[in-house]
Amino acid sequence: MLRVDALHAHYGRAHILQGVSFSVAKGDALVLLGRNGAGKSTTFKSLIGLVRPTSGRIAFDGQDIAGHEPHVIARAGLGYVPEERRIFTDLTVMENLEVGRLPARDGQPPWTPERLFGIFPNLAAMRTRPGGRMSGGEQQMLAIARTLMGNPRLILLDEPSEGLAPVIVEQMVHAIRAMRDGGVTVVLAEQNLHFALAVADHATIIEKGRIAWAGRVAELQADAGLRETWLAL
Amino acid sequence: MSMALPPCRRTKRCGSCAPPEPVSALLVQLLSGLSGASSLFLVAAGLTVIFGVTRVVNFSHGSLTMLGAYLGWSILTRLPRGPEYFVLGIVLTALATAGIGALIEMLLLRRIYRAPELLQLLFTFGIVLVVQDAAQFLWGPNDLPLPRAPWLRSFVTIAGERVPFYDLVLIGIGPLVLAALWLLFTRTRWGTLVRAATQDREMVAALGVDQRRLFTTVFALGAGLAGMGGALALPDASANLQIDLNIITDAFVVVVVGGLGSLPGAFLASLLIGVLQSFGIVLFPQATLVLVFVIMAAVLVVRPNGLLGRAPAVARGAGQGFAAIRPAVPLLLRLGAAALVLAVLAPLAVGPFVLSVMTEMLIAMLFAASLHFMMGPGGMASFGHAAWFGIGAYAAAFAVKGLALGMGAGLLLAPLLAGVAAALFGWFVVRLSGVYLAMLTLAFAQIVWAAMFQAVEITGGDNGVLGVWPAPWAADRRVFYWLVLALCVGATLLLRRVLYAPFGYALRASRDSELRAEAIGLDTTLLRLAAFTLAGAAAGLAGGLAAFSKGSVFPGFISISRSVDGLLMVLLGGVQSMAGPVVGAVAYTGLFDLLLLATDQWRAMLGLAIIVLVLVFPQGIAGSIHRLWLRGREA
Ligand SMILES: Nc1ncnc2c1ncn2[C@@H]1O[C@H](COP(=O)(O)OP(=O)(O)OP(=O)(O)O)[C@@H](O)[C@H]1O
Ligand SMILES: [Mg+2]
């Protein structure tokens, strides 16, 4: 589904990604783990085209998308939910969803606002509320729902559980499972290990812009030393 | 260089219709003001919408209005004269200007969205110059009035007063267009995308929306509105070559007063300005523009973001600032000293023509250096720096002709008055930054220009002040040159000295981080005001010298193109070093004199030069060279 090969990226002259490689199979859920500043968000931005990778290959659905414009990549079926959510604060919930809407794809039932309200019941009650007047958790749900409106084949979720209350995190776990049931492949960046373990099958640990470890989530769960080495603060 | 502008800015209701009786003036004047507000609103709405999405302040918006007037004239004079054909003609004009706008966006603007703000402004000014020459080439230099069909001349009686029917039509069009735009922006997918992109265009792109198409369509809409505004104003005025700069100033004022990016704000502000101008012409014909400016100042003092505007959130993915550059100091100093020696000795070797060009270069150098002082270290990019230059020139002329004082007094009064004016105006301008500041300084310069134009008793209006000659002891060209050399080099060095004094460091600190500067106890507003005043005074001295050098003063001393000259000199040379404006001024003055000698189409040539320069060096020449140098070092 997605195969990233020796990806390099810079901010100005700072060499941030120094050869990131990983791959995800269709229908799978992969979590990128790593400390603050490890390069998770930069990886996602390079995938969606907001950061132009300096070298490396990104094969998505058999197509090389490295260096393409963001809208081309999004239209190819790659969805992106940024860490800062970036809700359109002047627009209502329904309007935010409208901005994300893209045509349906073959072999996948299209996401509609009604279907999304089934996953995110909180949103259903605030259709005409401006995005600027929603709580952080509500904004996070809206950001995910907005991206799903584009009927992505694969969705990049950058720290979806960040700053959420435990109840909301629980809802988020269900939401991600619902997405996977709907046929969406999931790649998420996380610091919250418990959340990651609850939703992902595979994990990749990124450290200073390089891949430090890759394997099954279950192995990570079993190996405290591994977690200690790469994830402890 | 000066650009001839028209003697009267607002010639609404002149010619065939008699001036209204004083008693009925109120109602008729009010309605006339409201009708004028409509076409102003259309233009300003286009400007504000384009700015909202692309973050480009489109200087050439007035040119689109002018094209609308000319195209409207060409179309309407070929159609039958019934009202239904008038509507058709207006619609066709709007479509045509929308098409032209789309072309301009796709061929030109699209390439500079990531360039620094100031270069974008300059770039669109290049378009203004090109369009001006193109329009003159296509339609000729004369005003083209629209022959008015009978229905356009008819009156309606309201409360016993005869009100032009067309005024009522215009009054209706404003709210109609506002409503239509509102529906477009809130009820359509396109409008939703535009509003989203206004806030965060990167995110919109990441959601699969092609920004390019969005920008082109927004630009086409804005251009269509501008063209429609131009065509709708035809029956009350004419198609002429001055529309572009006149309307853009008004539209800037409206957009700033209403709040950047706010459509209802633009509507309110255009009503306010339209009515004010209409009454102003009756009540204080000499001070209409000053009145407009006072209102703008009042609004901005109470609401710094305009009537309905909000704090300017830095739009993501918008243009960036200039790269910072440090000059190689010792070499430059040695070169400068050598140049100075040559400049001192020059009069012994060169003829009178070269000497007068060199005098001009020196004055340009001080002018550019004073602008650089505000722009570079001060971080305030002025688009109306000619205001101080002009005030200085008029002050010098007034001292000599009006007060019968000597040249010395004139050269003293020039920087003094310019400095005082800069301090007064700067008092509220220095609180603003970026585009707001650029627009306000531009508006202010236009107002000074108009004031000099209108105060015929003191300034001679369009005829200018003649016979402003140097004192007998400096009457010799060479002596005068040495005087100019001493004063210009002295003042420029003084500015440089100030830059490396604690004041200069404090100024740069407050430019780079206002918060941090205030945290260490600097009064950033006061610092900026001092810099603004000093720059104004220095430009005033340059203006005073120019007055004596030319022997006369004209409103052209305050033209927009003179302000832009200054910007070009600074940007050509480079913003970040003091040598930049000096080199830029000398190179530019020389180049420009060559251009004037070589061609009549100097506007188009200059415009094209600006466009090409910005396209090739989107970071400014110095910034681009710096980048190349960095890349060279890395390789
Ligand atoms: N816009 C930027 N300009 C320059 N450097 C940046 C920028 N954004 C991020 N960086 C740097 O790039 C590195 C990687 O940042 P990134 O945001 O990808 O980390 P992350 O793994 O997402 O961290 P976190 O868990 O804190 O979100 C960091 O060192 C950061 O300082
Ligand atoms: Mg991150």
Q: Which two tokens stand for residue A190?
A: 């996380």
Bridge partners, residue A60, by sequence: A2, A63
pLDDT recorded at residue B188: 96
pLDDT recorded at residue B318: 35
CB contact under 8 A, B207 and A88: no
Confidence of residue A216 (pLDDT cuts 50, 70, 90): very high
Taking the Cβ of residue B313 and every Cβ of chain A, the question of whether any pair is shorter than 8 Å is answered with no
List Cα–Cα distances, B561 to A50, B3, B11, B312, B402, in angstroms: 39, 7, 23, 28, 28
Taking the Cβ of residue B409 and every Cβ of chain A, the question of whether any pair is shorter than 8 Å is answered with no
pLDDT recorded at residue B5: 34
Mutate to test the interface with B, among A86, A97, A101, A158 (most CBs of B within 10 A): A86
Report how far ligand 1's centroid is from the alpha carbon of A16 (Å): 8
β-sheet with A154-158: strand ranges across: A78-81, A154-158, A185-190, A29-33, A202-207, A210-216
Q: CA B10 to CA B36: how far, in whole Å?
A: 10
Range of the domain at A46: 2-230
Confidence of residue B315 (pLDDT cuts 50, 70, 90): very low
Taking the Cβ of residue B519 and every Cβ of chain A, the question of whether any pair is shorter than 8 Å is answered with no
List Cα–Cα distances, A210 to A1, A133, B191, B538, in angstroms: 21, 39, 42, 56
User: Which chain A residues are closer than 8 Å to B313 by Cβ?
Assistant: none
Widest CA span in chain A: 49
Give the gap in angstroms from C-alpha A97 to the nearest C-alpha of chain B: 10
pLDDT average, residue stretch B112-130 = 85
For the cut 60, the answer to whether the pLDDT of residue B3 exceeds it is no
pLDDT average, residue stretch B604-628 = 75
- What would the DSSP string read from start to end of B534-603? HHHHHHHHHHHHHHHHHTEE-GGGG-HHHHHHHHHHHHHH-SSSTHHHHHHHHHHHHHHHHHHHH-S-HH
- Average pLDDT over chain B reads 84
Cβ atoms < 10 Å from Cβ of B88: 15
**pLDDT tens digits, residue range B169-203?**
999 999 999 999 999 999 999 999 999 998 898 99
Bridge partners, residue B164, by sequence: B155
Give the gap in angstroms from C-alpha A90 to the nearest C-alpha of chain B: 8
Top pLDDT among A21 and B246 is at A21
CB contact under 8 A, B208 and A88: no
pLDDT recorded at residue A40: 95
Which residue bears the tokens 């301008």? B429
Ligand 1 contact, A118 CB (< 6 A)? no
For the cut 90, the answer to whether the pLDDT of residue B454 exceeds it is no
ipTM over 0.90: yes
pLDDT average, residue stretch B307-320 = 54
User: Which chain A residues are closer than 8 Å to B261 by Cβ?
Assistant: none
For the cut 90, the answer to whether the pLDDT of residue B222 exceeds it is yes
Ligand 1 contact, A153 CB (< 6 A)? no
| Among chain B residues, CA nearest to A147 | B207
Task: Find the helix or strand (DSSP H, E) in which B344 lies.
Answer: helix B329-345
Question: Which domains are delineated in chain B?
Answer: 40-253 (no CATH), 332-634 (1.10.3470)
Atom 30 of ligand 1, nearest CA residue: A37
Atom of ligand 1 nearest to the CA of A40: 21
The closest alpha carbon to A113, from A99, A125, A124, A103, belongs to A124
Q: CA B395 to CA B472: how far, in whole Å?
A: 20
Cβ atoms < 10 Å from Cβ of B518: 14
Are the CB atoms for A4 and A21 separated by under 8 Å? yes
Are the CB atoms for A40 and A189 separated by under 8 Å? yes
pLDDT recorded at residue B565: 86
Evaluate if pTM is beyond 0.90: no
Q: CA B252 to CA B255: how far, in whole Å?
A: 5
User: Which chain B residues are closer than 8 Å to A48 by Cβ?
Assistant: 206
Give the gap in angstroms from C-alpha B312 to the nearest C-alpha of chain A: 14
Confidence of residue B311 (pLDDT cuts 50, 70, 90): low
pLDDT average, residue stretch B414-423 = 95
pLDDT recorded at residue B20: 46
Confidence of residue A150 (pLDDT cuts 50, 70, 90): very high
Bridge partners, residue A207, by sequence: A210
For the cut 80, the answer to whether the pLDDT of residue A192 exceeds it is yes
**Which CATH number goes with the domain that contains A122?**
3.40.50.300
Are the CB atoms for B17 and B163 separated by under 8 Å? no
Give the gap in angstroms from C-alpha A195 to the nearest C-alpha of chain B: 26
Instruction: Report the percent of chain A where pLDDT is more than 70.
Output: 99
Are the CB atoms for B588 and B576 separated by under 8 Å? no
pLDDT recorded at residue B289: 67
Residues contacting B143, CB < 8 A, separation 6+: B238, B239, B240
pLDDT recorded at residue B620: 62
For the cut 80, the answer to whether the pLDDT of residue B219 exceeds it is yes
Alpha-carbon dihedral of residues A168, A171, A177, A178, nearest 10 degrees? -130
User: Which chain A residues are closer than 8 Å to B199 by Cβ?
Assistant: 88-91
Taking the Cβ of residue B200 and every Cβ of chain A, the question of whether any pair is shorter than 8 Å is answered with yes
Q: What is the DSSP letter of A132?
A: G
pLDDT recorded at residue B9: 35
Atom 16 of ligand 1, nearest CA residue: A39
| Among chain A residues, CA nearest to B212 | A71
**Buried b / exposed e across B94-117, counting CB within 10 Å, b at 16+?**
bebbbebbbebbeebbeebbebbb
Confidence of residue B13 (pLDDT cuts 50, 70, 90): very low
A80 → closest Cβ in B196, B206, B211: B206
Are the CB atoms for B452 and B558 separated by under 8 Å? yes
Ligand 1 contact, A40 CB (< 6 A)? yes
Residues contacting B536, CB < 8 A, separation 6+: B370, B388, B418, B419, B421, B422, B423, B426
Q: CA B114 to CA B317: how far, in whole Å?
A: 8
Are the CB atoms for A29 and A176 separated by under 8 Å? yes
Q: Which two tokens stand for residue B476?
A: 């010799």
B208 → closest Cβ in A74, A96, A98: A74
pLDDT recorded at residue B2: 36
Top pLDDT among A28 and B568 is at A28
**pLDDT tens digits, residue range B555-579?**
989 988 888 888 888 877 776 677 7
| Among chain A residues, CA nearest to B214 | A71
pLDDT recorded at residue B497: 86
SS percent in chain B: helix, strand, coil, step 5:
75, 5, 25
pLDDT recorded at residue B579: 76
Q: CA B591 to CA B2: how far, in whole Å?
A: 15
Ligand 1 contact, A83 CB (< 6 A)? yes
Q: CA B25 to CA B292: how far, in whole Å?
A: 20
Please count the structural domains in chain A.
1
A74 → closest Cβ in B192, B193, B207: B207
Q: CA B395 to CA B401: how far, in whole Å?
A: 10
Are the CB atoms for B43 and B230 separated by under 8 Å? yes
From the CA of A231, which ligand is nearest? 1
Q: List the single range of A47-61, A158-172, B21-35, B340-354 with lowest mean pLDDT.
A: B21-35
Q: CA B545 to CA B387: how far, in whole Å?
A: 15
Cβ atoms < 10 Å from Cβ of B140: 10
Residues B88-95: contacts with CB under 8 Å, at least 24 apart = B89/B231, B90/B228, B90/B231, B90/B232, B93/B68, B93/B227, B93/B228, B93/B230, B93/B231, B94/B68, B94/B224, B94/B225, B94/B227, B94/B228, B94/B231, B95/B224
Top pLDDT among B346 and B488 is at B488
pLDDT recorded at residue B301: 72
Confidence of residue B630 (pLDDT cuts 50, 70, 90): low
Atom 25 of ligand 1, nearest CA residue: A36
Residues contacting B28, CB < 8 A, separation 6+: B20, B161, B162, B163
For the cut 50, the answer to whether the pLDDT of residue B320 exceeds it is no
Give the gap in angstroms from C-alpha B106 to the nearest C-alpha of chain A: 17
Q: What's the gap between Cα B134 and its chain centre?
A: 20
pLDDT recorded at residue B71: 97
CB contact under 8 A, B196 and A99: yes
Q: CA B165 to CA B35: how far, in whole Å?
A: 10
**pLDDT tens digits, residue range B101-115?**
999 999 999 888 888
CB half-sphere exposure, B567, CA atoms < 13 A: 26
User: Burial of B355 by CB count in 10 Å (0-12 exposed, 13-18 middle, 19+ buried)?
Assistant: middle
Confidence of residue A229 (pLDDT cuts 50, 70, 90): confident
Give the gap in angstroms from C-alpha A148 to the nearest C-alpha of chain B: 10
For the cut 50, the answer to whether the pLDDT of residue A96 exceeds it is yes
pLDDT recorded at residue B507: 83
pLDDT average, residue stretch B202-210 = 95
CB contact under 8 A, A82 and B208: no
Taking the Cβ of residue B627 and every Cβ of chain A, the question of whether any pair is shorter than 8 Å is answered with no
Ligand 1 contact, A37 CB (< 6 A)? yes
User: Which chain A residues are closer than 8 Å to B207 by Cβ?
Assistant: 71, 74, 99-100, 102, 146-147, 150
Q: CA B280 to CA B168: how far, in whole Å?
A: 20
Which residue bears the tokens 């396109």? B190
**pLDDT tens digits, residue range B380-395?**
888 899 999 999 999 9
CB half-sphere exposure, B614, CA atoms < 13 A: 28
CB contact under 8 A, A91 and B195: yes
Are the CB atoms for B362 and B521 separated by under 8 Å? no
Atom 28 of ligand 1, nearest CA residue: A37
Q: CA A191 to CA A209: how far, in whole Å?
A: 16
Are the CB atoms for B377 and B431 separated by under 8 Å? no
Confidence of residue B17 (pLDDT cuts 50, 70, 90): very low
pLDDT recorded at residue A138: 94
Report how far ligand 1's centroid is from the alpha carbon of A50 (Å): 13
Q: List the single range of A7-21, B280-294, B602-616 with lowest mean pLDDT.
A: B280-294
User: Which chain A residues are closer than 8 Å to B204 by Cβ?
Assistant: 99
Instruction: Report the percent of chain B where pLDDT is more than 70.
Output: 89
| Among chain B residues, CA nearest to A83 | B203
Confidence of residue B18 (pLDDT cuts 50, 70, 90): very low
Q: Residue B168 corresponds to which amino acid? A: L
Taking the Cβ of residue B320 and every Cβ of chain A, the question of whether any pair is shorter than 8 Å is answered with no
For the cut 60, the answer to whether the pLDDT of residue B408 exceeds it is yes
